[in-house]
Amino acid sequence: MTHPSALHTVSSAAAAPRRGGPVEPRSGTLTPLAPGEVRVTGGFWHDLQRLNASTIIGHCLAWVERVGWLANFDRAADGSLEADHAGIEFVDSEVYKLLEAMAWEIGTDDEGELADTYRDLVNRVAAAQEEDGYLHTFFGRPGQRARFSDLEWGHELYCFGHLLQAAVARLRSGHDDQLPAVARRLADFLVVEFGETGRTAVGGHPEIEVALAEFGRATDTRTYIDLAATFVERRGHGLLAPIEHGQEYFQDDQPVRSGAVLHGHAVRALYLSAGAVDVGVEHDDEALVEAVEGQYVATLARRTYVTGGMGSHHRDEAFGDDFELPHDRAYAETCAAIGSVMVSWRLLLHSGKARYGDVIERTLLNAVLASPRRDGKAFFYSNTLHQRTPGLPPAEDSTSPRAQSSMRAPWFEVSCCPTNVARTLASAHLYFATRSDAGLQIHQFGDFTATAEVGGEELTVQIASAYPFEGDVVLKVIAAPSSPVEIALRVPAWAEAEATWSVNGDGLTVALGDGYLRVTGIVSADTGLLLSLPLTPRVVSPDPHIDDVRGQVAIERGPLVLALESIDLPDGVDTESVEIDLSSPIESTPTGARVTLRRRTDRELPWPYDGASTTDTDAGPAIVADMIPYARWANRGPSTMRVFLPTARP
Ligand SMILES: [Zn+2]
């Protein structure tokens, strides 16, 4: 297919761009590693990244083609696109998130089938860019609404943001070619349109903030970062027209730095927070970073599910009030979990606090990874923690409403989550490790190598672990500098009391503190460390303020939140009529736990508020059942499921 994209094609810049991860702050306690400096060598994450490369990316690509969202660009380029645009206002962004996923996956090599597909896709996008840099398929043409005529719902700036982030991924993989050129023209257009002398406005869905900040970093362009700051500071002054969900839905009810806790639409709030941290770091505005950190910490304490999922409301995809966390109506959108990882990663880099590595671990393993089906061809958009009736298998060949599917669906009318999963999986390894002047920090576990220059010399370590299913983490030094270094491994908060370790090497100091096990001294190529984290299943009780699950418990095994799925119960026993017997031992299984349940005999009454006398715990034989990782539920056909279980009376 030929597109009139030659107009916009530029030759590669003279110097290769600086490689890096999705976030490269100008300053911070910790410095991220670049692609190539972290290499996944096998195991859990290798399997997931292979699934992403072999299936998820292709699945998303097939769907954006099939539903006409890619053809929107072709038709914009050849002048045939009018009001008959395919899909809702922001479907351009799915193509951009897919381009971001592909850029991370292609990496530095830029050869092969995926690279060819990527270039074809970029050609089609580039061809739709207008002379002044604007690029959106839903607005501005004959028969379409005018540009920026619907800043509340139009999502133009949101889509632009995802285009810029896709360009960042390309630049950070070492290529300054067509998509970064398209993104520069778009960003320059935005500086004129929305900068200090342009229109005083913000977009209804934050995303442009985090994207402009990063694109500014990736291109060394302060004006882009300054525009990101302008968007952050403008928010909260009622610039957006009132809507039925109220101004707080798009965080336009109060200035970003004056909030106490995240509120309103969860994905919007989290993307905005990520952008605000970036702007705060770039402008040495510690007060802004601290404000956002305070809001996020309060959100973790009062508005977060045990999986790390965020957002309680189906109605407006929003955070609820403090401790308003319904489990059978949990919204917990996959994109909100990804947004939380984005915020945590920025705060980890800024502060070095191990706690944010804990949050990333919990959220990635239990919330983000719950989305893709085992075969990579269907996804959860919302993530309930309690499924009362067996889900209905969605049609595999049509789009599903975004949140009504009780099983994973292949594609959605609003399909933000699948492509978000794809870009997150493709870049997941870049969240595993960091460096500092002192040495290397390992934040996540699996099979990978991490390398950094410390004091002008190379420090490379190899991590081997069957985590999250086994608790031993083996670290081996591969290349060592001649001067002393510090190698830090995050020890999750749940493991701190019982973690054990042994070191192979002379004259090294080992200390556990602040969530890290730190090995300090002169290491050599035979230095080794074994960290053992206890994976004995743990009983987790919720804060009593969370009325929805008061008196119930969850079971965690290592970093994994477990779930009881009906498929693992004997015939005739359902998840709604069992209680967990905590007086019986809970045994570890290879991936979960074996628990003892007691059956409750329920008597249905015409009026269900006649007190506890209506139920008895069955005195019959105990039911022994396996609980599985929550992220893996709904992979064996329609089922019911619950994370929190009532406890049997002794
Ligand atoms: Zn989503």
For 558-617, write each residue's pLDDT tens digit. 999 999 999 999 999 999 999 999 999 999 999 999 999 999 877 777 888 876 554 566
Helix, strand, coil: what percent of the chain each, to 5?
A: 35, 20, 45
Report the alpha-carbon distance of residue 602 to residue 618 in Å, rounded.
10
> What is the Å distance from ligand 1's center to 394 Cα?
18
Q: What are phi and psi of 303, to 5 degrees?
A: -135, 35
Contact (CB, 8 A) for 554 and 644: yes
pLDDT < 50 stretches in the chain? 1-13, 614
Contact (CB, 8 A) for 204 and 267: no
What single string gives the DSSP state of each residue in 523-591? --TT-EEEEE-----EEEPPPTT-GGGTTEEEEEETTEEEEEEGGGS-TT--GGGEEE-TTS--EE-SS
Side-chain-facing half-sphere of 648: CA atoms under 13 Å:
23
Q: pLDDT at position 403, please? A: 65
> What is the Å distance from ligand 1's center to 335 Cα?
4
> What is the Å distance from ligand 1's center to 336 Cα?
7
Q: pLDDT at position 627, please? A: 98
Q: pLDDT at position 8, please? A: 38
The structure tokens listed for 615 are 């139920």
> What is the Å distance from ligand 1's center to 168 Cα?
21
Q: Which of 69, 67, 76 is nearest to 4 (CA)?
A: 76
DSSP 8-class letter at 133: S
Write out the residues surrounding ion ligand 1, Cβ under 5 A: 333, 335, 416-417
Side-chain-facing half-sphere of 587: CA atoms under 13 Å:
8
> What is the Å distance from ligand 1's center to 81 Cα?
26
Q: pLDDT at position 609, please? A: 83
> What is the Å distance from ligand 1's center to 619 Cα?
45
Q: pLDDT at position 5, please? A: 38
Residue ranges with strand state E in 193-352: none
Q: What are phi and psi of 532, to 5 degrees?
A: -110, 120
Q: What are phi and psi of 453, to 5 degrees?
A: -90, 125
Q: Which of 335, 361, 312, 370 is nearest to 546 (CA)?
A: 312
C-alpha separations of 274 from 161, 339, 344, 577 in Å: 13, 8, 8, 42
Q: pLDDT at position 616, please? A: 60
Q: pLDDT at position 392, please? A: 85
> What is the Å distance from ligand 1's center to 420 Cα?
7
> What is the Å distance from ligand 1's center to 416 Cα?
4
The structure tokens listed for 123 are 């050609």
Q: pLDDT at position 610, please? A: 74
> What is the Å distance from ligand 1's center to 566 Cα?
27
Report the alpha-carbon distance of residue 164 to residue 183 in Å, rounded.
6
> What is the Å distance from ligand 1's center to 108 Cα?
28
Tell how strand 439-442 and strand 516-521 pair up: unpaired
Contact (CB, 8 A) for 382 and 416: no
Amino acid at 49: Q
Contact (CB, 8 A) for 617 and 581: no
What 3-state DSSP class applies to 474?
strand
Q: pLDDT at position 14, please? A: 52
Q: pLDDT at position 260, please? A: 97
The structure tokens listed for 78 are 């050849």
Contact (CB, 8 A) for 354 and 514: yes
Report the alpha-carbon distance of residue 214 to residue 218 in Å, rounded.
6
> What is the Å distance from ligand 1's center to 380 Cα?
9
> What is the Å distance from ligand 1's center to 414 Cα?
8
> What is the Å distance from ligand 1's center to 406 Cα?
15
> What is the Å distance from ligand 1's center to 210 Cα?
17
DSSP 8-class letter at 242: P
> What is the Å distance from ligand 1's center to 265 Cα?
12
**Rg (the chain; Cα; Å):** 25
> What is the Å distance from ligand 1's center to 412 Cα?
10
Q: pLDDT at position 11, please? A: 39
> What is the Å distance from ligand 1's center to 6 Cα?
34
> What is the Å distance from ligand 1's center to 205 Cα?
12
